[in-house]
Structure 1
Amino acid sequence: MKLNTFSCLLLLCLLVSQSVKGDEEFTVEDIQVRGLQRISLGTVFNYLPVNVGERFSLDNAGPAIKALFKTGFFKDITLEREGSKLIVLVVERPSIAKIIFEGNKDLSKDDLKKALDKIGLSEGKVFNRQVLDKVEQELRRQYLSHGKYGLKIKTEVSNLTRNRVGIHIKISEGRVTKIKQINIVGNKAFDDKTLLRSFELSTSNLLSFYSKDDQYSKQKLSADLETLRSYYLDRGYINFSIESTQVAITPDKKDIYVTINVKEGDIYRLEKVKLAGNLVVAPEELIKLVSLGPGEIFSRKNATETSKAISERLGDEGYAFANVNMVPDIKEADKTVDMTFFVDPGKRVYVRRINMSGNTKTRDEVLRREMRQMESSWASSAKIERSKTRLERLGYFETVNVETPPVVGTSDQIDVNYTVVEKPSGNLSAGIGFSQVQGLIVNANIAQDNVFGSGKRVNIAFNNSSYSTSYQFGFFNPYFTLDGVSQGYNLGYTKRNAGQVNIANYSTDIANAGLNFGIPLNEFDQIRFDFDLRHTHLSTTAFSSNEICDFIFGNNGIDQCTNKTNTIGNPNTRARVDATGDSFLTFAPAVSWTHDTLNRALFPNKGGQQRFSAMATVPGSDLEYYKASYKHQVYFPLTRDFTFRLQAEAAYGNGYGKTDKLPFFENYFGGGTGSIRGFKNNTVGPRDSNQFPLGGSTKIIGNAELFFPVPFLAETKSVRMGTFVDAGRIDNNIGLNNLKYSVGISGEWLSPFGALSVSAAVPLNAKSSSPTGAIIDQKQIFQFNFGQNF
């Protein structure tokens, strides 16, 4: 490197001595630049430290040439004098016309081009051979991060017309160098298997093709060493240390051996835990947040969580910049620790202004009524974050971001800035979908979730399938009053043919009108009242069973069926005489309570939701009955990508007064998506005299599901997979006997064309028939539901 630098300086001196003859000074009356092809004349004048009218001599030549060389645009520069003119002769460096990669498989051409662009080598730029020397270093760095240690690179430069070059980079990636063994030396309290279980790096296993955990990475190893350190510190080993780390690669560059030398030290226990400093908040409240106590083994994790919990509690009181420092007093003699949490709350911080931006359509008041943080009050981190969550749950925005910059010139004020990106809240759509249950589905929908930016919702919908035809109109105002009481009403007509969805043979025509009010009890709880007036016209078919005919006869005195053997050939089943049907008018008030702490409306991964609802037709209705249900689901975030959900639902209904049981068309059904997967839709439960599913008055469903990202699509938030266990029963009596079970895998995709859900499940205790030959369970391993909008 020293020789090259000396050679360049010697060459520069020779050029200067030969270019400008003599050492006399002269006044530059004109400057001419010759040899330019792509570089503009203005660029040269901008870098040239010589101006017209200035005196120029041999002493000025060296700095002028150096300044132009520094641009990297030229490979040769000569200065000449013609009378009082200064002539600048340049030879431009060639430009890069094309970069061709050959042999790359693990990294795409786009990724490689981006990597080279960072070091200044890309198509269209000036070619500099010194930068080319860095190519191998940069590409090797890229491939090393993918575990390719046997990499070979060959670079060729071809001269092209018009002072251009082409760069051909030949790559031989070689095989991936994998971790053969990870050894931990010096550990006595825990074996290698236990410690390595929490490592990101690992030796090859069945999932390594996806996780790449058997490919060595310096960054991953650093993270694993910190994980190892935390593992010991969380179990009382305060003096734990990592003495050294060795990474060795075999000569054939196929295997890597990692050795970690540790010193465990002794276990320390807590003797005293104290709070000190300016506590601000009542000590008894802060003590509840302390998650470690005397006599326990010291845990850095618990200490850190305590510090964080106290900071957050102070933040709720406006001390946004509070510091809670852990001060351990280690006693080596008796292996104990006195832990003091020193609280420095700082100044209480107030909110000057809450600013909204990005809502070009939605009115400010729609956003501001969701605010739980108020202006001119002290800043609460919990209220600021809760306000953000409420904006996200509106469904009007693609993204919601919040910033809390300090007010310039003050030490106790901040502004809270919410920035939203609106998404279309209204749509006019036609749709075609397909369901295994309903077959081909056609729908049309006019909906506006945010009418004129007011937050109100209006929708007109039409749906048609082999199962049902419906027309619906609805209006909903989430803020009927300033206190957040909501109001909605709906009108609709629905015609259903139950036989098309694996249910007993009958059809209904239902006209309904409803009014509802929702009253918020607190931040997470709401109670809702519904008042529905419904007219139901019920019709039998040639295949209607005894149970259906008996219900109509028992509740209206009209016998639509005779004891004549029907087309099924079952002498115990009566056939339809006419299709006049029967009509029932009911008025059914209902009440429901919802407790919702989910963090997202779609694909939540934290929080839960409980819902209890009850309805009953008023005395004097044509049918007198009641129904009640309870549903509870809770999400547990296991890791960043894995979420575990538990879900349970129970429901019961019955008749009262002049109606001796729950009307059969109000029965509960089980089986299929959203219920017990692996069993055919609606087939779990009691059957009628024709062996068709009739449903039951009691429903119990339970589900446990582990959600995880789709391999190779981990960053896609609209797709997820799961593995589940379903259990449940549909019956006419209360109990947990005869539960049906299934296990399987599931997939969900919120596609641009509609929601797609699929599952593949295996029933564990399905029975094909009873001793009398009656059908009991029907299996359906693969189930899906898909809708398309356009």
Structure 2
Amino acid sequence: MNTNFSRFRLRSVAAVVASALAATAAWAVEPFTVRDIRVEGLQRVEPGTIFASLPLRVGDTYSDERGSAAIRALFDLGLFKDVRIDVNGNVLVVIVEERPTIADVDFVGTKEFDKAALQKALREVGLADGRPYDKALADRAEQELKRQYVSRSLYNAQVVTTVTPIERNRVNLTFTVTEGDSARIREVRVVGNKAFSESTLLSLFDQDSGGFMSWYTKSNQYSRSKLNADLETLRSYYITRGYLEFRIDSTQVAISPDRQDLSVTVNITEGEKFVVAGVKLDGNYLGRDEEFKSLVTIKPGEPYNGEQVTETTKAFTDYFGTFGYAFARVQARPEIDRVNNRVTLTLQAEPSRRVYVRRVAVGGNAKTRDEVIRREFRQFEASWYDGDKIKLSRDRVDRLGFFTEVNVETQEIPGSPDQVDLVINVAEKPTGSLQLGAGYSSAEKVALTFGISQENVFGSGNFLGVQVNTSKYNRTLSLTTTDPYFTKDGISRTISVYHTTTRPYSTTLDGDYKLVNQGASIRFGVPFSEVDTVFFGVGLERYAFDPNSSTSFSGLFTPASYLNYFQCSKDATGWFVTECNQKSVWGVPLTIGWGRDNRDSALVPTTGRLQRANLELGVGGDMKYVKTNYQYQQFFPINKQYTFAINADVGYAKALGGKVYPIFKNFYAGGLGSIRGFEQNSLGPRDVPLFGQTEGAALGGTKKAIFNAELSTPFPGAGNDRTLRLYGFFDVGNVFGSRAAGLTDEQYKAQKKLRASVGLGVSWISPLGPLRLAYAIPIKSQKEVLDPNTGFVLIPKDRIQRLQFQIGTSF
């Protein structure tokens, strides 16, 4: 500390001693009646604060004891460093010296925390701008700062406080921090294990001694809260495998003398392994014993499983709640036979009293209107309490996506034992977003994006969004708005207006032809159940075709399938396009869709399934067709670390009414999201190669069949971090279509063959979004075949792209 602070501290000590002597002098005064009280030395403190705290009033009798009590009361305010009482006749003169006021709190050398976080931590111990300076408080602040650094494993952090007096009895506080290096976990041990190996148990922990990815996961940085979570995971591991009497005896954390390394030792007692002998029901089950028995997941003859016991008691409590018994109590009482290592569980139930909900209140919604939350509630006022409906209501409010927290509290009503109030408390989050940026993918190259959206416009629950995309192959401008409660019955309405320019995936020789699509659509979502919604929509769209007429090679490299669909004619040479009789087409597509998603996470799913089905029907204009698609995903959790997943995606389309199927509505395959290892959307039917070029344009197909399988594992060195994963995969499938004009049988058969690949990939939930990188090896692909007579390409080879990445790709 500097010399200014040293002098300041000496003055403070002297002032305290002087005040004590003054108090001693005051004790020599003979009692008298106080005629007046004056206060001297005030600068910022209001006189009223003094008079309100003094235990003396005008007219009271002054004595030594009351004078001493007055000095203590003023010191207890924490506003003064010196307090004296002088007696002038019958007048009391209170002389005070105010403590300095903190003008500013600053930090030097802090890298681990930002200034705002540290200021918040000090504010919680009472140290902040504008408050009186107290040396004891500054010492507490130092300790709080060190505690904050210890929570980040920075045990060597040093904090020095500098107090600088400034004018008007104020001080500046500066905390100079030397953070040092964080302490690392050198070793984690589990002692006392017999049934399972130490390596098996340590693999359950999120904290470890580190690996080459510890710079990212920070798994080797000690945290008490993380250790407690690991201990609970360890406890659960044993209890779910029959070790009913498992216990953690102690946890020892030892730090090295240089405070750089930590060792953690967990001492356990496994106990014996118990098998469930039987399950009995005891108590009042409302005459529905068989119904409750069907909820029991505990299996006699198998090892005791604590999770099954918890699931069963919770299921019982919830089932009581469906009949209005909000305060039912269910306990599992074990009867242990240690001779035979068997346990009999008795489920004791007491339903208590039946209640109904008097009122449902909403709290915490500063922006969102009450009706937006209430319309998701399935538990109604003046109805019997129903636990299932309350849980469903909470989940529906949470799925709105407007809140970071959603909690439902049950409040008893004094004097009304058969009534309760429900209070749903929410914590709102920002629901608007503005996106400006650029992205890069191996297929699309550089793409600029702009988007602005608001999921909860003016608190109404409606969605409004604008999207702009400038990628090489797909340029988009769209406006979308959704009213989730267009009707009181919960039917949603979505209106979209869009303008897109699409350049089919092709090589340079295939030309610069393009399609311009303009349209609008309206779609309604009808909830057929609490988990199923069916969508109905209608649109109006127009497609305009440009065969690259701006160049001297007009249409020379444009696929014949596009030229035929738009009825383009060529000049006398038969090579160049002169005009297209059908420069644009329009249509009226009707859509019907259905979706169900019960995955545990949209970004990093480990269990559950996703299903989507869609039907598009062209009923008007130049396009008459039907296009269907169905996708199925299933995730199987092998254990905490490994997840196996499958994905199937099939589609079928055909023309109706004697029309030609619009080629630009074909299915495509290849690349991330379908069959990795092949260039994006390059599989399936191709245009006839021209002039011996090695590749024809990818046209897509009217049939699609794709299957994927993935095994997701922890990234080496990243522990159990689920934001960074390694996965192995197997992909197979293709898209299929009718034979293009000019194709030989051999060429057509080659296009119909399945393609397959295997490989490894990395998935990372990056700040820019989900990023997936894959390295694939095609195991079933088409090789190039040359015409033996001309040397021209008879069957082009597949476009192989072993390394692929993209941000935002699913599966």
Give the residue type in structure 1 aligned to 2:755.
N
In 2, Cα distance between equivalents of 1:207 and 1:191: 24
Q: Which residue of 2 aligns with 1:737?
A: 754
Give the residue type in structure 2 aligned to 1:682.
N
The CA deviation at 1:272 is 1.4
In 2, Cα distance between equivalents of 1:216 and 1:602: 27
The CA deviation at 1:323 is 1.7
SS of aligned partner of 2:292: helix
**Which residue among 190, 194, 206 is the counterpart of 1:184?**
190
**Which residue among 75, 80, 83 is the counterpart of 1:77?**
83
Native 8 Å contact 1:319 1:379 kept in 2 = yes
In 1, Cα distance between equivalents of 2:475 and 2:132: 68
In 1, Cα distance between equivalents of 2:389 and 2:33: 73
Which one is further off, 475-484 or 522-531?
475-484
In 1, Cα distance between equivalents of 2:158 and 2:430: 51
Give the residue type in structure 2 aligned to 1:694.
L
**Which residue among 240, 253, 257 is the counterpart of 2:259?**
253
In 2, Cα distance between equivalents of 1:361 and 1:105: 36
SS of aligned partner of 1:131: helix
The CA deviation at 1:86 is 0.9
SS of aligned partner of 2:327: coil
In 1, Cα distance between equivalents of 2:480 and 2:176: 65
1:523 and 2:545 equivalent? no
Q: Which residue of 1 aligns with 2:569?
A: 560
SS of aligned partner of 1:18: helix
User: Could you give the per-residue CA deviations for residues 495-547 of structure 1, whole angstroms, max 9, x where no partner exists?
Assistant: 75547899887655767787766543322223445566777666653433344
5 Å-filtered alignment, 1:291-302, equals 291-302=297-308
Native 8 Å contact 1:269 1:337 kept in 2 = yes
Q: Which residue of 2 aligns with 1:578?
A: 579
Q: Which residue of 1 aligns with 2:384?
A: 378
Q: Which residue of 1 aligns with 2:798?
A: 776
In 2, Cα distance between equivalents of 1:170 and 1:452: 46
In 2, Cα distance between equivalents of 1:448 and 1:225: 42
In 1, Cα distance between equivalents of 2:451 and 2:273: 68
Give the residue type in structure 2 aligned to 1:626.
V
In 1, Cα distance between equivalents of 2:306 and 2:431: 48
In 2, Cα distance between equivalents of 1:420 and 1:67: 43
1:692 and 2:697 equivalent? yes
1:593 and 2:615 equivalent? no
**TM-score w.r.t. structure 2 length?**
0.77
The CA deviation at 1:451 is 9.4
Q: Which residue of 2 aligns with 1:16?
A: 23
Native 8 Å contact 1:683 1:778 kept in 2 = no
Give the direction of change, closer, same or farther, for the CA distance of 1:678–1:375 in structure 2 (3 Å limit): farther
SS of aligned partner of 2:315: helix
Q: Which residue of 2 aligns with 1:545?
A: 559
5 Å-filtered alignment, 1:460-475, equals none
In 2, Cα distance between equivalents of 1:442 and 1:261: 55
User: Could you give the per-residue CA deviations for residues 39-69 of structure 1, whole angstroms, max 9, x where no partner exists?
Assistant: 3222222222111121213332221222222
Give the direction of change, closer, same or farther, for the CA distance of 1:564–1:744 in structure 2 (3 Å limit): farther
**Which residue among 343, 349, 355 is the counterpart of 1:337?**
343
5 Å-filtered alignment, 1:333-412, equals 333-355=339-361, 368-393=374-399, 402-412=408-418
RMSD of the alignment, in Å? 4.9
Give the residue type in structure 2 aligned to 1:668.
F
**Which residue among 759, 767, 775 is the counterpart of 1:762?**
775
Q: Which residue of 2 aligns with 1:321?
A: 327
Unaligned runs of 5+ in 2: 1-13, 548-554, 690-695, 738-750, 787-792
The CA deviation at 1:630 is 0.4
In 2, Cα distance between equivalents of 1:105 and 1:481: 53
Give the direction of change, closer, same or farther, for the CA distance of 1:500–1:363 in structure 2 (3 Å limit): farther
Which one is further off, 215-224 or 193-202?
215-224
The CA deviation at 1:325 is 0.4
In 1, Cα distance between equivalents of 2:457 and 2:321: 37
Give the direction of change, closer, same or farther, for the CA distance of 1:694–1:67 in structure 2 (3 Å limit): same
SS of aligned partner of 2:282: strand
Q: Which residue of 1 aligns with 2:731?
A: 727
Q: Which residue of 2 aligns with 1:44?
A: 50
Give the direction of change, closer, same or farther, for the CA distance of 1:349–1:625 in structure 2 (3 Å limit): same
Give the direction of change, closer, same or farther, for the CA distance of 1:364–1:563 in structure 2 (3 Å limit): farther
5 Å-filtered alignment, 1:466-485, equals 483-484=489-490
In 2, Cα distance between equivalents of 1:33 and 1:640: 70
The CA deviation at 1:307 is 1.3
Native 8 Å contact 1:549 1:561 kept in 2 = no
**TM-score w.r.t. structure 1 length?**
0.79
Give the residue type in structure 2 aligned to 1:208.
S
**Which residue among 44, 60, 71 is the counterpart of 1:65?**
71
The CA deviation at 1:295 is 1.4
The CA deviation at 1:677 is 5.8
Give the direction of change, closer, same or farther, for the CA distance of 1:359–1:113 in structure 2 (3 Å limit): closer
The CA deviation at 1:694 is 0.8
Give the direction of change, closer, same or farther, for the CA distance of 1:39–1:580 in structure 2 (3 Å limit): same
Native 8 Å contact 1:449 1:456 kept in 2 = yes
The CA deviation at 1:327 is 0.3
The CA deviation at 1:318 is 2.6
The CA deviation at 1:685 is 2.7
The CA deviation at 1:85 is 1.1
The CA deviation at 1:234 is 2.4
In 2, Cα distance between equivalents of 1:132 and 1:359: 38
SS of aligned partner of 1:284: helix
Give the residue type in structure 1 aligned to 2:527.
P
Give the residue type in structure 1 aligned to 2:220.
D
Give the direction of change, closer, same or farther, for the CA distance of 1:705–1:456 in structure 2 (3 Å limit): farther
SS of aligned partner of 1:183: strand
In 2, Cα distance between equivalents of 1:127 and 1:758: 51
In 2, Cα distance between equivalents of 1:533 and 1:395: 31
1:614 and 2:615 equivalent? yes
Unaligned runs of 5+ in 1: 1-6, 553-557, 567-574
Native 8 Å contact 1:686 1:730 kept in 2 = no
In 1, Cα distance between equivalents of 2:466 and 2:178: 62
Q: How many residues get paired?
A: 753
Q: Which residue of 1 aligns with 2:154?
A: 148
User: Could you give the per-residue CA deviations for residues 719-762 of structure 1, whole angstroms, max 9, x where no partner exists?
Assistant: 977666573543327988213556544567798xxxx6755433
